[in-house]
Chains A and B, each alone.
Chain A
Amino acid sequence: MAWIDRLWNVLRPARLRRELDRELAFHLAERTDALEAEGYSADEASRVARQRLGNYLLQRERTRDEDVSQRVDNALRNLRLAARALARTPGFTVTVVATLALGIGANSTVFSAIDAVLLRPLPFPNADRLVTLAQIDRTASQSFVAPVRLADWDRMNSTFQAISGYYTQDESEVSGTFPEMVTRAFVAPRFLEVWGVAPVIGRNFSPAEEQNNGPPAVIISDGLWRRRFHADPRAIGAILHFAHSSAPIVGVMPASFRFPVRGVDLWSPSLFVNDRNITWYTAVGRLRPGVTVDQARANLASVQAELGREFPKPDGEITCAIEPLKEATIAGVRGSLWMVFGAVSLLLLIACTNVAALLLSRTAARRQEIALRVSMGASRGSVAWLLLAEVSLLALVGAVLGLGFAGASLALLRTVTRNLPHVADITLDWRLVLYSLACALVAIVVCGIAPVSQANEELAQSARATRSSGGRRAHAGLVGVQVALAVTLLAGAALLVRSFQALTRVSPGFDPDSVLVFQMTSSWDETADPTKAQQRADRILERLQSLPGIEAVAATPSVPGIPSDYQTELATQEPRAASEPKIIAQTRAVSPGYFATLRIPLLAGDLCREQGAGTWTMMVNRAFANAYFAGSSPIGHHLLQPGNVYVPNSEVRGIVGDAREMGLDRQPVPTVYWCATLFQPGSHFLVRVRGDLGPVAPAIRAAIHEIEPIRSVYDVAPLAHQIADAYATNRLRMILLSCFASLAMLLACVGLYGTISYSVNVRRGEIGLRMALGAVRERIIRQFLSQGLVVSGLGCAVGIALALALTRFLSGMLYGVSATDPATLAGVVVIVLLVSLIASLVPAIRASRVEPMQVLRGD
């Protein structure tokens, strides 16, 4: 392996030289002996022997050159020279390395998130074959699947290996001193078959266990196993006790298996009901190898059509929707992640441009050194290689530091992006290292082109020629690019900031302050007896109401102000003209105290009452009344939801104000409220408190424990916090983009300052001459200021064009401001021009202080 030899020899030059010296010394000794034998004196012989060999050092080097890899050798030599040159200018070196490290580090951090969340497959075997399935019913917004229909799909299809489903509920495990809240997933048969993951200890459910009234069994998560059983394998067979049931543990899942939710503690077989109207599963399936999603869609569509013929009601109305599981998981975050990645890439580009401008100034300052190298016989190529070596060294050191920076910021990233899927998989690994190196390579190319071509241009001109204006133009061009990119980022950031401001200024139609939210464990089984569940809920609400400092209490299935969607089609019992629009509304079941607790005003009619058997009352909001009962009053009408077996038709009792319950960023839509105190998994309790929220939480816990000792209270938080958390992604997006934009602006300013300073330096002689000839200082200042403004003005123009092209990617993330909002864009331009005016002012003033005599004498 000659090339390995040569590479190796590059790395141990001293040893190679010693060997060559030994070999040549032997040759000289032999030759001297031979010459002495011919009659030369010892001195003479040694001299002639050396003479015959020629220039000793040259021979040795020529021989050495055969033994080493020339390319590597040259590269190392260039790197050594570059390192020495950079060490001579520590200020420059530190600036450039820090700039690149920041750019590459920030980029790598965001890339790691993109990689973990978007690029990598889900952590299951052959995860690309996993899909979600939903039953789409024209009349209902929810897409849960009926157990019997799921079983039909699983049995009748020809494209799936398995179809299964799940639903979760939080409940209390009561083996310990205090009830512990655990998250349980109830699963349909063949659940683990879909995932292709088996328990690490124990076994999957047996077919008997998956039957109704079969032997009870649970599989627990790695987390629960460690927490409760200290990872003891004897946990298999141990009995877990829940509020109304108990079950032995039959298996433990691996730590990597965290489905359907991160915090899931255990899985157990679900009940089966043969009613086609009762729906509860979120369905998942595994495609057979080689089957595409489209084929599966077509297959399931024909299966469902067959079911529709067999059971026209309700299956005739139902279709099946299939989505790759990964799409379903990441759909919510993809836009934000790519947006942040785009921003951080622009930042890296700005950093590179900045470095390129710095290098350009440096190259110009080293004209003499370069000219000297050339006159000593260096080829133009070798000068270029030397410059490239410097850039490479800077970029590589920057990449290594950037990687360290990325490693440090990953911890931060993990905490601020808790809600992202797979956030725990974000790690510093070889992919990230490769990515950073790729960034460095881009940096080398972007940073290297300008100075290298500049050096070549300098060389092309004779040493005595006047300084070229090409350098200055290239310099100004680079700064213009920086300004343009900074304007783009600033525009994006400004839009997000304005959108966030609009969001905080919006009046939600309800008052989230002084309201505490919490949840309580319960099971779906309990909902089988609605009267009992309602009584239980009423008792809880009464007890809460009796606590000191409590103004009002309510129960609701979903927290107001947090994005949600329960759109359904309704019908009136009273006749309605066919020409009238269909009634589509958001529906919520709330306890009667809901409106007082949230301070949603009553506009007309009366507040609804507690539901009685078969007679429910309801409220509608103003938007509903305006949309469907314009000119008349909905009060007294009866509304029903066709197909919903849980809700009887209900009388409208009154109209309340519009509230943004579906999310602060969405206009209130027609909404109906069933006054029904539902107590089911996922129910939230709202408590309006007089005065301080702090002391109320322990009091609530104690009161609940008193009347419901087997339930755990959890997720206790002020409503305002929960709403803010729901918009945390918006805030994070805004903060990140603002940081990037500020950094970009800072870099652009440094660049602008640098280019004007450079221009002043280059033209000192000219300035001195003009001042000697009588030019006024103000004129000099104005000249350099206008030079700066031209550069940043052109930058702004390009930047705005770029922003107009790019901000449409933001449009889905904006509220209350258009992606091309003229005021925002104009504001950005004004700020950039002002800042660049200041950045140019300092060097411009310095130019006007040039002492003519000194300059003229000096040159």
Chain B
Amino acid sequence: MSARKNDVLQGTLALLVLRTLASGKPMHGYAITAHIQRRSDQLLRVEEGSLYPALHRMEQEGWVRAEWGTTDKNREARFYTLTPKGRGQLAAERESWNRLTTGVARVLRGMA
């Protein structure tokens, strides 16, 4: 089966979630998945099973804060918001991601 839809790379999930929440609007897990998928023009698909362990880990790290609330459809959901500490983490992860991609791109260019 070809990777028509790329699963999100290990380790980049946190970066994507942090970036998604960076708008400041509280979002629940499903909305985060949908948002990543939409913004990547369906190129990236979050493996749903990994999302919640990752969200809870980020909550314990203090990067995000979670609160129960109700959606438009009047469903109970857990909404996540970025904390100031999470914003700092986002900057750090973005920086390291940029270094990685630049580095990888340079290597690939050299080999072409």
Contacts and interface: CB of A to CB of B under 8 A. Distances in A.
Interface of A: 2, 5-6, 19-20, 22-24, 26-27, 29-31, 33-34, 52-55, 58-59, 62-63, 65-67
B97 interface: no
B57 A66 contact: yes
B30 A22 contact: no
A27 B30 contact: yes
* B interface, over-half SS: helix
Contact of A6 (B29, B60, B73): B60
17 contacts: A22-B76, A23-B29, A27-B48, A30-B30, A30-B75, A33-B73, A53-B48, A54-B49, A55-B49, A62-B53, A63-B52, A63-B53, A65-B53, A66-B57, A66-B59, A66-B60, A67-B56
Given A53-B49, A54-B48, A26 B28 contact: yes
Nearest to A56: B49
Contacts of B56: 63, 66-67
B29 A27 contact: yes
Given A6-B60, A30-B30, A23 B78 contact: yes
A26 B76 contact: yes
A23 B60 contact: no
A35 to B, nearest CB: 12
Contacts of B8: none
A67 B60 contact: yes
A553 B110 CA distance: 122
Contacts of B61: 2
Interface string B16-57: 000000000000111000100000000000011100110011
B41 to A, nearest CB: 17
Most A CB within 10 A of own CB, among B30, B57, B59, B61? B30
B76 A2 contact: no
Given A2-B62, A5-B60, A66-B56, A31 B30 contact: yes
B77 A59 contact: no
Given A23-B77, A67-B60, A59 B53 contact: yes
Contacts of B48: 27, 31, 52-54
A858 B61 CA distance: 59
Nearest to A51: B48
Nearest to A9: B60
Residue of A22, A23, A67 contacting most chain B CB atoms (<10 Å): A23
Interface residues of B, number: 21
A54 B53 CA distance: 13
Contacts of B49: 53-55, 58-59, 62
Contact of A23 (B34, B47, B52): B52
Contact of A26 (B53, B59, B75): B75
Contacts of B28: 26-27
Residue of B52, B62, B71 with most chain A CB atoms under a 10 A cut-off: B52
Nearest to B66: A23
Contacts of B71: 26
Contacts of A63: 52-53, 56
A66 B58 CA distance: 9
Question: Across chains A and B, which 3 residue pairs bring their CB atoms closest together, nearest first?
Answer: A54-B49, A66-B56, A30-B30
Given A27-B28, A59-B53, 8 more contacts: A22-B78, A23-B52, A23-B78, A24-B52, A27-B52, A31-B30, A62-B49, A66-B57
Interface of B: 28-30, 34, 47-49, 52-53, 56-57, 59-62, 71, 73, 75-78
Contacts of B53: 59, 62-63, 65-66
Contacts of A34: 34
Contacts of B30: 26-27, 30-31
A26 B78 contact: yes
A55 B47 CA distance: 12
A146 B57 CA distance: 80
A67 B57 CA distance: 7
Contacts of B47: 54
Contacts of B57: 66
A62 to B, nearest CB: 5
Nearest to B62: A2
Nearest to A29: B75
Contacts of A6: 60
Nearest to B56: A66
A21 to B, nearest CB: 11
Contacts of B60: 2, 5-6, 66-67
Contacts of A27: 28-30, 48, 52
Contacts of A29: 75
Contacts of B77: 23, 26
A65 B57 CA distance: 9
A33 B77 CA distance: 15
B78 to A, nearest CB: 5
A524 to B, nearest CB: 78
A19 to B, nearest CB: 8
A59 B76 contact: no
